[in-house]
Amino acid sequence: MTNIFNFTSRKNASQKNDFLKDGSDTLIYDRDGRNISFDPLPPQPVVPNRDWSNQELASIYGVKRLLDAAGVPNVLERGLTDEGDPWCVFCTTSGEVFIHLCRVDSLYVLDSPNLKSPLTGTDFADLISQFSDGALSRDSYTAKTSGRLIKLRQNGKVFLHPSIMLAALIWSIYINAEELVFFASGEDQDIDMDAAFADIGTLAAAPITETDMQNAETELADFKKSLSLHDTLRSDDVRDVAMAKDGAGKMGMMYVPNTIAVGLSSIAIAFGILQETLFDTTPEAPQIAAHEVEGRDDATVLADAEEADSPRDRSVQFDFAVVFEAARDGMAHMLDQLEAGAQMALAGERIGPSLTLETALQMPPVSDLLPVIDITSEDAAVEMAYLPEGEAGAENDDESDSIAAVEEDAPEEIIDIAELGSEPSRSAIDGSEDQLITFASLLDIKNQEYEVVSTFEVGGQTFEATFDVSTLSKEATDLLVSTLDNGPTADDNRELTGSELLLPNGDTILLGAVGEDDLGTQFDPFDDDARAFVAFLKDQSGSHLISGPGKLTIVADIGPVAPDVYHAMTWVNDTGHEISAVGLKSDFEAFDLLG
Amino acid sequence: MLAEAQKATPEEAKEQRAALGSWLKELRESQNLSQRELADKLSLEYYTFISQLENGRGRIPVHRYSEWAEALGQDKRTFVRTLLSYYEPTTYKILFDADSA
Tell me if chain B has a CB within 8 Å of the CB of A85: yes
Contact A83 B59 (CB under 8 A): no
Residue type, A539: D
Q: What is the ipTM of this complex?
A: 0.90
Q: pLDDT higher for A217 or A265?
A: A265
Of all residues in chain A, what percent carry a pLDDT higher than 70? 25
Radius of gyration of chain B measured on its C-alpha atoms: 14
Using the predicted structure, report yes or no on whether residue A484 has a pLDDT greater than 90.
no
What's the whole-number average pLDDT of chain A? 53
Contacting residues for B66 by C-beta, under 8 A, at least 6 apart: B76
Using the predicted structure, report yes or no on whether residue A434 has a pLDDT greater than 90.
no
Sign of CA dihedral A6, A8, A14, A15: positive
Tell me, what's the pLDDT at A103?
A: 92
Give CA angle at B52 (A101, A236), nearest 5°.
Answer: 75
Between CA A195 and CA A184 the distance in angstroms is 19
Tell me, what's the pLDDT at B72?
A: 95
Question: Strand ranges (DSSP E) for A153-212?
Answer: 180-184
Alpha carbon of A205 to those of A31, A129, A307, A341, A509: distances in Å? 40, 22, 40, 8, 35
Sign of CA dihedral A63, A201, A376, A299: positive
Between CA A448 and CA A452 the distance in angstroms is 10
Tell me, what's the pLDDT at A131?
A: 75
| Strand partners for A413 | A383
Between CA A368 and CA A389 the distance in angstroms is 19
Structure confidence by residue, pLDDT tens digits, A278-298: 444 333 333 333 333 333 333
How does strand A412-415 pair with strand A500-503? unpaired
Tell me, what's the pLDDT at B75?
A: 95
Phi, psi (deg, nearest 5) at residue A384: -100, 125
Interface size A-B, in CB pairs within 8 Å, comes to: 98
Tell me, what's the pLDDT at A142?
A: 38
Element (H, E) at A551: strand A551-555
Q: Which of B6, B47, B51 sits opposite A79 (nearest CB)?
A: B51
Query: How many beta carbons lie within 10 A of that of residue A349, not counting itself?
Result: 8
Tell me, what's the pLDDT at A200?
A: 63
Q: pLDDT higher for A315 or A585?
A: A585
Between CA A52 and CA A58 the distance in angstroms is 9
Tell me, what's the pLDDT at A69?
A: 76
Tell me, what's the pLDDT at B80?
A: 94
> Any idea what DSSP says for residue A511?
P
Residue among B35, B43, B49, B50 with most chain A CBs within 10 A, to mutate: B49
How far is CA A375 from its chain centroid? 20
Contacting residues for B34 by C-beta, under 8 A, at least 6 apart: A82, A83
Q: Which of A273, A277, A181, A274 is nearest to A232 (CA)?
A: A181
Contacting residues for A552 by C-beta, under 8 A, at least 6 apart: A439, A442, A443, A446, A545, A546, A577, A578, A579, A580
Contact A95 B57 (CB under 8 A): yes
Output b/e per residue, A38-65; b: 16+ Cβ within 10 A: eeebbbbbebeeeebbebbbbbbbbbbb
Instruction: Tell me the chain B residues in contact with residue A109 when contact means C-beta distances shorter than 8 Å.
Output: 45-46, 48
Structure confidence by residue, pLDDT tens digits, A166-186: 777 787 777 665 444 343 333
Using the predicted structure, report yes or no on whether residue A311 has a pLDDT greater than 50.
no
Between CA A518 and CA A465 the distance in angstroms is 30
Using the predicted structure, report yes or no on whether residue A85 has a pLDDT greater than 70.
yes
Contact B57 A89 (CB under 8 A): yes
Between CA A80 and CA A63 the distance in angstroms is 19
Tell me, what's the pLDDT at B77?
A: 94
Tell me, what's the pLDDT at A100?
A: 92
Phi, psi (deg, nearest 5) at residue A338: -60, -45
Tell me if chain A has a CB within 8 Å of the CB of B101: no
Question: Per residue of chain B (101 residues), what is the pLDDT tens digit?
Answer: 455 544 566 677 777 888 999 999 999 999 999 999 999 999 999 999 999 999 988 889 999 999 999 999 999 999 999 999 988 888 888 888 765 54
Q: pLDDT higher for A180 or A541?
A: A541
Tell me, what's the pLDDT at A494?
A: 33
Using the predicted structure, report yes or no on whether residue A96 has a pLDDT greater than 60.
yes
Q: pLDDT higher for A551 or B40?
A: B40
Tell me, what's the pLDDT at B48?
A: 95
- Mean pLDDT: which of A101-110, A151-160, A379-388, A465-474 is highest? A101-110
Residue among A81, A228, A254 with most chain B CBs within 10 A, to mutate: A81
Tell me if chain A has a CB within 8 Å of the CB of B66: no
In terms of Cβ atoms closer than 10 Å to its own Cβ (0-12, 13-18, 19+), residue A229 is: middle
- The answer, as to whether pTM is greater than 0.80, is no
CB A318 within 8 A of CB A255: no
Indicate the pLDDT class of residue A352, thresholds 50, 70 and 90: very low
Tell me, what's the pLDDT at A159?
A: 46
Region for A452 from its dihedrals, namely left if φ exceeds 0, alpha if ψ lies in -120 to 50, beta otherwise: beta
Give CA angle at A59 (A507, A543), nearest 5°.
Answer: 40
- Please name the residue of chain B whose CA is at the shortest distance from the CA of residue A77: B57
CB A243 within 8 A of CB A113: yes
Tell me, what's the pLDDT at A586?
A: 76
Using the predicted structure, report yes or no on whether residue A238 has a pLDDT greater than 50.
no
Average pLDDT over every residue of A122-143 = 60
Least confident residue range of A30-34, A381-385, A541-545: A381-385
Tell me, what's the pLDDT at A298?
A: 33
> Rounded to a whole number, what is the largest CA-CA distance in chain A?
84
Residue A509, classed as helix, strand or coil, is: strand
